[in-house]
Amino acid sequence: MAALLILIHLATLLNSSLAVRKPLGTQTNIGTEFIRTSCGTTTDPGLCMTTFSGYASEIQASPKLLARTALSVSLNTTRSVSTVIVKLSKSHGLKPKEIAAIRDCVEELKDSVDELKRACDEMGSGGGKSFQLRMSDIQTWVNAALTDEDTCMDGFSGKRQIVKVAHLISIALAFVSH
């Protein structure tokens, strides 16, 4: 029963964190088309378009702003899901195997949050390293975050919501890599 309630809470949380923002201004059409084209190259174009079309007026036709937004949304969504799973780990009535899987997942999500934060910070910095080295570091951290999400899913029965987070991270990786 506790697992069902947590899954419902995760679904609500994920849906609210992915809620489409309302487009603003005339730059929206340019941004929307750019996002549609960019999302077409990802592993989940529907989720991508739903998630990022509300940012069209801010992103316009900037690959850098799209990548930065994708990293930020991935980070915030991963943080939110991590918080819910931490609460799940404190639920009563869980079996020892479930508790162990949840604890492992919490650790993986913490690592994922740290790696996405590093990627976001590096994306925003302009100093020191060459552009290619910065992008290589960002790709490495986003890949590591995606691996953490996959590892979390291995032993966790509430993985449907984790899959959506992993898809967001995969989308961010696609945008960072182009």
pLDDT confidence of 11, banded at 50, 70, 90?
very low
**Better-predicted residue by pLDDT, 120 or 150:** 120
Would you state the pLDDT for residue 4? 34
Residue-range domain boundaries for the chain: 2-18+67-177
Distance in angstroms (rounded) separating the CA atoms of residues 54 and 115 = 25
pLDDT of residue 46: 96
Q: What is the pLDDT of residues 50-66, one digit of tens each?
A: 999 999 999 999 999 99
Q: Can you spell out the DSSP letters for 10-69?
A: HHHHHHHHTPPPPP-STHHHHHHHHHHHHHTTSS-HHHHHHHHGGGHHHHTT-HHHHHHH
- Percent of the chain scoring above 70 in pLDDT: 80
Q: In the predicted model, is pLDDT for residue 16 greater than 90?
A: no
Multiple choice CATH, 2-18+67-177, 3.40.50.970, 3.30.70.580, 1.20.140.40, 3.40.50.720: 1.20.140.40
Find the mean pLDDT for residues 140-148.
94
Q: CB of 81 within 8 A of CB of 162?
A: yes
- Confidence tier at 157 by pLDDT (50, 70, 90): low
What pTM, to 2 d.p., does this model score?
Answer: 0.81
Average pLDDT over the chain reads 82
pLDDT for residue 162: 79
What pLDDT is recorded for position 130?
82
